[in-house]
Amino acid sequence: MSDHRHRFLQLALTADALRFGQFTLKSGRLSPYFFNAGRFDSGARMSQLAACYADAVEATGLKFDVVFGPAYKGIPLATATACEFAQRGRDLPLSFNRKEAKDHGEGGNLIGADMNGKRVLIVDDVITAGTAIREALAIIKGAGGTPAGIVVALDRQEIASETDRRSAAQAVAEEAGIPVVAVATLADLLDFASGNPELVGYRQPLEDYRSRYGSRPTR
């Protein structure tokens, strides 16, 4: 497992952003684990998380000019990631959106750098149904930008529905024609649980969940 993947999963576990047990998801599925990026709730945790995001992006060689954070969770994630890239010597423009357009002051629903003619990296926590990401793609294109890729913390690698064996990340990647980069995946989580004596008991429930809801392998 890549170092950034292990660091991220350990950080998530320490921050209580990654929990094991029985959790009912919005989809109604009963999951043996739950991920909540809102638990990265301190400056130190966000800084460490941003380093994992930056490492994951750099490992792909993805080319981009602007960092974009979809409201709401994507805003602090994109901001922290842009700060991490600046620490590494690359000061990138940063942009994000409002949920509702502002009708006074500067107006509009975009804040930050101009995306016109730029390649844009979207930074978010997860892709669940893909609705928020599709909205972000439309916003970027509407501003004259070109979506270059998407980076998320965790890819659950599970089917969108019984009739669509793709994961939400796979569906978005195929529809938009851009890569979706995950700091870690369910497969990484299984490896991580196997190597952690405190978590090894959760490996079988994770395997069972993947057997039932796992998405088709990426070609």
Angle at 185 between CA 181 and CA 186, to 5 degrees: 155
Confidence tier at 217 by pLDDT (50, 70, 90): confident
pLDDT tens sequence across 162-172: 888 899 999 99
* pLDDT in the model for residue 102: 55
Q: Is 126 annotated as a binding residue?
A: yes
Q: Is 128 annotated as a binding residue?
A: yes
Dihedrals phi, psi of 110, to nearest 5 degrees: -115, 140
Catalytic residue among 4, 6, 63, 104: 104
pTM: 0.94
* pLDDT in the model for residue 192: 95
Catalytic residue among 6, 63, 102, 118: 102
Average pLDDT over residues 125-136: 89
Question: Domain spans of the chain?
Answer: 3-213
Asked about 6 being catalytic, the answer comes back as no
How many whole angstroms separate alpha carbon 134 and alpha carbon 211? Answer: 28
Asked about 102 being catalytic, the answer comes back as yes
Q: Is 188 annotated as a binding residue?
A: no
pLDDT tens sequence across 73-108: 999 999 999 999 999 999 999 999 987 665 555 557
Q: Is 98 annotated as a binding residue?
A: yes
More confident residue, 151 or 105: 151
Fold topology of 3-213: Rossmann fold (3.40.50)
Average pLDDT over residues 112-126: 97
* pLDDT in the model for residue 84: 98
pLDDT tens sequence across 34-57: 999 999 999 999 999 999 999 999
* pLDDT in the model for residue 207: 96
How many whole angstroms separate alpha carbon 198 and alpha carbon 55? Answer: 27
